[in-house]
Amino acid sequence: MSPVQLRRWTREEYDRMIDAGVFREDDNVELVDGEIVTMTPQKSRHATAVRLAEIALRRVFGDGVDVRTQLPLALDAISEPEPDVGVVVGSPRDYVEQHPTTALLIVEVADSSLGFDRTTKARVYARAGIDDYWIVNLPDRVLEVRRSPAPSISDPADWGYAIVERLEPSDRIVPLARPDASIAVADLLP
């Protein structure tokens, strides 16, 4: 018996499906590692955490960056995720013709998606060279910080983060792209 084979999609194919109307506007999907993933509807705690992260990051980063909420990043040929918050260089007008291809910082707010954000999304973000990846872990009320993307020692095709920290609400976090600023972890938690 042969194993089941999944059909992986490219960003180009995914974008053509969007253009052709395969997905409705209320279809909450994203392309992650070649798979079209349905995003779960947001509960109020999740939505509040997204807004809190957006507010804190706008305050810390100021001008010269675009703090984007739930908008696509064209990371590679098989991934176009829509992180809860992404900080990219430039302004919204810089991305009229195409989505950003990298980010200074990505924040995912996780409740039911915690395992997916720790594994699949972390692998995709690490492979894309995202140096600073944070997960607002709602069930445990902590901030998980992942830094130093690198290929796996056992499998160079697999990527992850060499540094993983867990910060409590009483801690502060310094974004790598803004070493002169810090954010209270409590400010990111509902």
Highest mean pLDDT among 73-77, 85-89, 113-117: 85-89
- Write out the DSSP string of the chain: -PPP------HHHHHHHHHTT-S-TT--EEEETTEEEEPPPPPHHHHHHHHHHHHHHHHHH-TTEEEEES-----BTTBB---SEEEEES-GGGGSSS--S--SEEEEEESTTHHHIIIIIHHHHHHTT-SEEEEEETTTTEEEEEEEEEE-SS-TTSEEEEEEEEE-TT-EE--TT-TT--EEGGGG--
For position 2, what pLDDT does the model report? Answer: 65
Kindly state the average pLDDT of the residues 99-108.
Answer: 97
For the chain, the domains span: 41-188
Count CA atoms closer than 13 A to 131's CA, side-chain side.
8
Kindly state the average pLDDT of the residues 22-40.
Answer: 78
Contacts of 70 (CB under 8 A, 6+ apart): 50, 82, 83, 84, 85
6 pLDDT above the threshold of 80:
no
Q: Residue 4 phi/psi, 5° resolution?
A: -65, 135
| Cα angle 134-138-139, degrees, rounded to a multiple of 5 | 125
Alpha carbon separation from 34 to 13, 14, 81, 83, 129 (Å, rounded): 10, 9, 10, 16, 18
User: Which neighbouring-strand residues pair with 65?
Assistant: 89
More confident: 63 or 154? 63
pLDDT tens digits, 34-79: 787 777 777 899 999 999 999 999 999 988 999 999 999 999 988 9
CATH of 41-188, one of 3.90.1570.10, 3.40.50.300, 3.40.640.10, 3.30.390.30: 3.90.1570.10
Alpha-carbon distance of 57 to 106, in angstroms, equals 11
Contacts of 22 (CB under 8 A, 6+ apart): none
Alpha-carbon distance of 161 to 149, in angstroms, equals 4
127 pLDDT above the threshold of 90:
yes
For position 72, what pLDDT does the model report? Answer: 93
Q: Where does the pLDDT of residue 11 fall: very low under 50, low under 70, confident under 90, or very high at 90 and above?
A: confident
For position 24, what pLDDT does the model report? Answer: 75
Kindly state the average pLDDT of the residues 119-135.
Answer: 96
For position 17, what pLDDT does the model report? Answer: 83
